[in-house]
Amino acid sequence: MNTPAENRRRAALDARLRGFHGVGVSDVLAVVDYLREPADTVIAGGSLTFGLGNRLSDFDVVVCGATTARSLVPLQHWVSTLRVDVWTRSHADINALFVLAAQALGRHAPIAGAFGSVEQEQQLKLLHRVAFGLGLAGAPLAPASVPDFRAVARDLVLREYAERLRESIWVAQLAARSHRWLTAVVNAREAVEEAFTVVLTACGVPFTGDKWLHERLKSHAPDLRDAYRRYASLPTGVADCAAYVADAVALVGRLTGVPTEPDQLTALVSWVGSGLSVCKTGDTWLLVAPAVGGLWELSEAELAAWRELAESAMTTIAEPAGAGVAETRVWRGGGRAETDFCLGLYERGLAQPRWDRGVPVAELAVASEVAGAVL
């Protein structure tokens, strides 16, 4: 039986669906009824469930039962003009997913890639839908595989966004140091938005995706919404760009407790590049990236940085790609010139940071700046 708060949420959801599409919760249940047994649980998740979204938003539904067949992709349905994406899972599948999540949270390795496959990573949204969604039919779903399944779902978002903002603020500072201002301010803004998500999630606001961040700040963290105005528009002048990055670094550190000092972060990261080589044609040295069909002329300083990195690189061989084998190089350390060269590769999508460790939730010091959660 739903609580009074859940009944109010259901009534609000029903009114929202009818306002956008002229159909309600009962119409959705009638269309997806063929996927469930009488005792199965049906949960609504996604932005529409939390009073967000618009008439273009899809409606996410999870059907879960003791013997429910597993869908690898959401099963798409149309109820009038409303698109309904239905995920089907058995109780055992849901329990196993929460176990994987809890195990990943217990490790110090970065959370990205911790679940073994791309398909598993894509299904992790189900954790939040199960934990914070709205029950539409059947008994409440409470996975028994972990002591507090809502905390696991919450902490996954905290870990992911804490690790994202750490990288964003690190790249922003490296770029600012080299006067690469577009890269600097774009990453600074991303770090601030990621920090806002960390604060909202830590204070109990269910995650609904990056695109609804402004609405979430308006409803639950008006002070942060005021701070967001500082970062709503990217600056153009050099002095303004430098101040913008410095302000972002200070705000991110205060809101989350994630370390922001660039040299401290650099000690935790390597650069990884795949399939890159350098060749000479005439008097010109070229960086060659066959994977993207790219050629870049290297300056003498860039060539020197490449050679310095090549001498110290750890080289691994990746899986065969097409007719050849892509060589993967891992670079660590180096001076200013080498770091700037790797940053240039990063800007072109030719190299990515690889972190030694993640950001365990216990190491966060999240500011309490949220008015109240939805639930």
Delimit the domains of the chain by residue range.
Answer: 4-147, 154-261, 269-355
Neighbours of 132 (CB within 10 A): 22
* More confident position, 19 or 120: 19
Tokens of 146: 């972990």
pLDDT of residue 120: 66
| Residue carrying structure tokens 């259901």 | 10
Q: What CA–CA distances, in Å, run from 170 to 82, 157, 210, 235, 352?
A: 42, 20, 20, 19, 13
Helical (H) or strand (E) element with 95: helix 91-105
- Quick check: 46 pLDDT over 60? yes
Q: How far is CA 229 from the centre of its chain?
A: 22
- Min mean pLDDT across 34-38, 111-115, 305-309 is at 111-115
What is the spatial distance between Cα 276 and Cα 131, in angstroms, rounded to a whole number?
44
Q: Answer whether 4-147 and 154-261 agree in fold.
A: no
- Min mean pLDDT across 65-69, 177-181, 212-216, 311-315 is at 311-315
Q: How far is CA 289 from the centre of its chain?
A: 27
State mean pLDDT over 250-271.
94
pLDDT of residue 121: 67
Domain 154-261 in CATH 2.40.10.10? The answer is: no
- The mean pLDDT of the chain is 89
Neighbours of 74 (CB within 10 A): 17
Q: For the domain with range 4-147, which CATH number is right: 3.30.460, 1.10.540, 2.60.40, 3.30.70?
A: 3.30.460
- Quick check: 283 pLDDT over 70? yes
pLDDT of residue 322: 45
Q: What CA–CA distances, in Å, run from 258 to 119, 171, 188, 345?
A: 29, 14, 14, 26
When pLDDT is cut at 50, 70 and 90, the band that residue 154 belongs to is: very high
Among residues 6, 126, 147, 135, which one has the least CA distance to residue 74?
A: 126
pLDDT of residue 317: 55
What is the spatial distance between Cα 64 and Cα 129, in angstroms, rounded to a whole number?
12
* More confident position, 192 or 328: 192
pLDDT of residue 140: 86
pLDDT tens string 302-322: 999 998 888 877 776 554 444
pLDDT of residue 375: 45
State mean pLDDT over 134-158.
89
- Quick check: 233 pLDDT over 60? yes
pLDDT of residue 323: 43
pLDDT of residue 296: 93
